[in-house]
Structure 1
Amino acid sequence: MKLPLRSRLLDTDVAVAAEAAQNACLHLRTDHPPGVLLASHCLTISPGLHSLAGDTRIEEWSAHGPGRAAHTGAIHLVEHDRVLFAAWHRPDDPLEANTRDAYRDLFRAIRERGFPHAVRIWNFFSRIHGDERGLERYQSFCIGRARSLAELEIAEKHMPAATAIGTGAPGLFVYLIAAREPGVAVENPRQVSAYHYPEQYSPESPAFARATRIETADGPQLLLSGTASITGHESRHAGDCPAQAREILANLDALHAAAGSDIPPPAWLRVYLRRPEDRPAVARVLAEHYPRLPQLQWVQGDVCRRELLVEIEGVHARTP
């Protein structure tokens, strides 16, 4: 069955207010105090991201028609007849244990409501390269996530697209979009599947698909995971942000081809930069690559490996 799911970047709070009054929505906001707000039909997450160059647009996911809001413990959700938006927010220390709790609580909640299939997940937490009991905190996060998914008996083929980014604000934010039927996981032939990474990166491999294809009322969509300058399992172009951006675009093109010829071009992309001063150079790379530039959002964020300077996620979808 086709999902009534749309995604876009909104420029004004006026548009947000009008949309939230009518439809079930998930909003991601930058430059706001960290937290989760549940109001009417709308779930708003502010995970401590900071926009670059005043780019404060809001990422919106909406399902046509109102939703039912609920809040239990750390879980906030908006349930639509066909789509469920859910978020978990608590402190990020200890990160491994709290990640395990987040995934357990979220997946139990969506299963209880009849939406057992996550099609997209986002993870934000602080000090991604800091230390936790002798491990880098990103590794602790991967351990907590992998062990929870194993307990939940989620098969590799059903892992959704995902993003994990380090922020400057304390707290662990995990939020997702779930459906009654699974999406189709898409892997990149240029890369080793993340859940098959060798142990040198983490005692437990990252657990996500490179992208998820879903069928919507507006046509097929491709939900892109956070994508970095990695081929095989190795980082490429250390210290060279424009070269990393070009490698990312080659990865995104490969995903587009793997997902099917009926997938439209990207509607919008979010660019995470470790160093804000790299924005002009990366913007030139994107402008050279896309004949018609998609909507772009620029934010500061720490990528999972220290040598990686940029990561890109987004959505391929038909635009009005």
Structure 2
Amino acid sequence: MATARREMHNPAEDTHAGPRATVRGAPAAAGLPRLSIEYVDAPGPSALLGCDDVLAVFGFGGAVPATHDDPRYLRVPLEPHDSTGFEVWRGSAPVIRGCDDGLRWACDGQLLFGVVEVAEREGDIQEAARHAYSRLAAFTTGSRTPHLLRVWNYVDAITLGSGDDERYRAFCVGRARGLGDFDVRTLPAATAIGRCDGERVVQVYWLASAAPGTPVENPRQVSAYRYPRQYGPQAPSFARAMLPPAGSAMPLLLSGTAAVVGHASMHDGELLAQLEETFANFDALVGAARRHDPSLPTRFGAGTRLKVYVRDAHDLPLVADALDQRFGDAVPRLLLHAAICRHELAVEIDGVHGAPLV
């Protein structure tokens, strides 16, 4: 099986002496890292950004503001199903924030939210991904929060092209080259999803920490970074989940998960069967994480937050109904119209589990 390609990158090529020095010198938050994640109904992001423990606020789709003066706000280009709510990350006050030549960040001394958006030039997604990840790596390396815990990637037309010319495969090559000389044993949890607004912009945002987390793999699946060559010249660079730093008040961070067993997609054309297989994967993943942290709840519940990505907009009500039957109101969730990174997959889910209740 293929192992991840390792490309050398010189962080000195991307300088962040000003703002990164500020992040490096941010006052350490008292105690251990803390992160809570909530889905909140609000008329807009401004009121949510008024709290000094907020690391980030996310709006979804075209009905929310595209930008905000506060660098902690980000619009995610995926349309929500029957919701205009916001996702809010809360850390430890006080949170400082800033911008560095388009890279926006917020830090509480223990955790850092960062985001970079890179427009493709003539459809070159590989170069846009390389540039985005070079910026990410250069910004975090040597900072007070050098450990990547979780990354989200949103790119347009993710499955366009065939064979090695498929855009997702090109993205994976660019991501690995931008990360530089990485160790697959420390890769962050991640999601890569297709945006549906037609904008050829690679949007990457992440959560980094002063202390390392513990990557977790799913015993039902081949580790993504060990996928065979049939999936492209560069295996995807992520872990299936990430346990937070030991002793922290943070949830288990779940990567994008779908109906994949081993490395093969299952139940082509059977949406509800794919949904069941996805939750079987989550059961196995949580079980693997519990071997490190037995305090994690065995099943999804009030401390779980899920983002559910559905490929075909007309399937959103069907998925919503299936989730209502499975969870009722017990599990907060967002349903989003998004393209999945394999043609045959109709649904993908990520989220957090065991979140501190607020």
Match of 2:313 among 254, 276, 281: 276
2:340 matches 1:303: yes
Which of 176, 185, 206 is matched with 2:236 structurally?
Answer: 206
Q: In 2, are the aligned partners of 1:5 and 1:217 still within 8 Å (CA)?
A: no
1:179 & 1:167 partners in 2: Cα distance? 27
> Which of the numbers 12, 33, 49 marks the counterpart of 2:78?
49
- Counterpart residue type for residue 80 of structure 2: S
Deviation at 1:268, TM superposition (A): 1.2
Distance 2:254 2:238 in 1: 11
Specify whether residues 118 and 131 from structure 1 end up closer, same or farther in structure 2 by C-alpha distance, changes over 3 A only.
same
Moved more, 132-141 or 242-251: 132-141
Q: For residue 231 of structure 2, give the secondary structure of its aligned residue in structure 1.
A: coil
Contact 2:164 2:170 in 1 (8 A): no
**Aligned-pair distance for 1:146?**
1.6
Question: Which piece of structure 1 moves more, 206-215 or 5-14?
Answer: 5-14
Per the alignment, residue 24 of structure 2 pairs with none
In the alignment, does 2:34 pair up with 1:4?
Answer: yes
2:317 alignment partner, SS class: helix
Match for residue 319 of structure 1? 357
Contact 1:25 1:62 in 2 (8 A): yes
Q: By how many angstroms is 1:9 displaced?
A: 0.9
CA contact (8 A) 1:159 1:208 kept: yes
2:288 is equivalent to residue 263 of structure 1: no
Supply the RMSD in Å over aligned alpha carbons. Answer: 2.3
Whether 2:134 is the aligned partner of 1:104: answer: yes
Contact residue 164 and residue 232 of structure 2 kept, 8 A = no
Post-superposition CA distance 1:71-129 (Å, at most 9, x none): 11231111221111110012133110111111111121122422111101000011112
Alignment of 1:201-280 (within 5 A): 201-215=231-245, 219-260=249-290, 261-264=294-297, 265=300, 266-280=303-317
Shift, 1:285, TM fit = 3.4
Counterpart residue identity of residue 319, structure 1: L
**CA positional deviation for 1:286:** 2.8
1:276 is displaced (CA, Å) by: 2.2
2-structure distance, mates of 1:292, 1:98:
40
Letter of the 1:226 counterpart: G
Paired letter, 1:94:
D
Please, what TM-score do these two structures have when normalized by structure 2? Answer: 0.82
User: How far did 1:52 drift?
Assistant: 1.3
Paired AA for residue 263 in structure 1: L
The answer to whether the 8 Å contact 2:196/2:337 transfers is no
Secondary structure of the corresponding residue to residue 229 of structure 2: coil
Quote the offset at 1:3 in angstroms: 0.9
Partner of 1:94: 124
Aligned letter for 1:305?
R
TM-score normalised by the chain length of structure 1: 0.91
Following superposition, the deviation at residue 18 of structure 1 comes to 4.3
Residue pair 2:110, 2:209 contacting (<8 A) in 1 also: yes
**Shift in Å at residue 14 of structure 1?**
6.6
Q: Say which SS state the counterpart of residue 8 (structure 1) adopts.
A: strand
Deviation at 1:178, TM superposition (A): 0.5
Distance 1:59 1:236 in 2: 31
* Equivalent residue for 1:121, pick from 151, 154, 159: 151
Structure 2 portions without partners, runs of 5+: 1-30
Which residue number in structure 2 is paired with residue 22 of structure 1? 52
Q: Does structure 2 conserve the Cα–Cα contact (< 8 Å) formed by 1:186 and 1:212?
A: yes
- CA gap 1:132/1:282 in 2 versus in 1, 3 angstroms: closer
Max radius of gyration: which structure?
2
After superposition, residues 72-221 of structure 1 pair within 5 angstroms as: 72-92=100-120, 93-131=123-161, 135-149=165-179, 151=180, 153-169=181-197, 170=199, 171-215=201-245, 219-221=249-251
Tell me if the contact between 1:10 and 1:16 (Cα under 8 Å) persists in the aligned partners: no
CA distance in 1, matches of 2:38, 2:248: 13
CA distance in 1, matches of 2:252, 2:243: 5
**Any conservation in 1 of the 2:33–2:92 contact (CA below 8 Å)?**
no
Whole-angstrom CA distance in 2 between matches of 1:44 and 1:217: 28
Amino acid in structure 2 at the alignment position of 1:143:
V
Q: Does 1:60 align with 2:98?
A: no
The structure where strand makes up a greater share of residues is 1
Range 64-73 or range 159-168, more displaced: 64-73
For 2:183, give the aligned amino acid.
A
Note closer, same or farther for the CA distance 1:256–1:291 as it changes in structure 2 (3 Å cut): farther
Unaligned runs of 5+ in 1: none
Structure 2: how far apart are the matches of 1:190 and 1:292? 28
Question: Structure 2: how far apart are the matches of 1:258 and 1:208?
Answer: 16
The one-character-per-residue Cα deviations of 1:29-64 (angstroms, maximum 9, x if unpaired) are 11237855451xx511113111112x1221111212
Q: Between Structure 1 and Structure 2, how many residues are aligned? A: 315
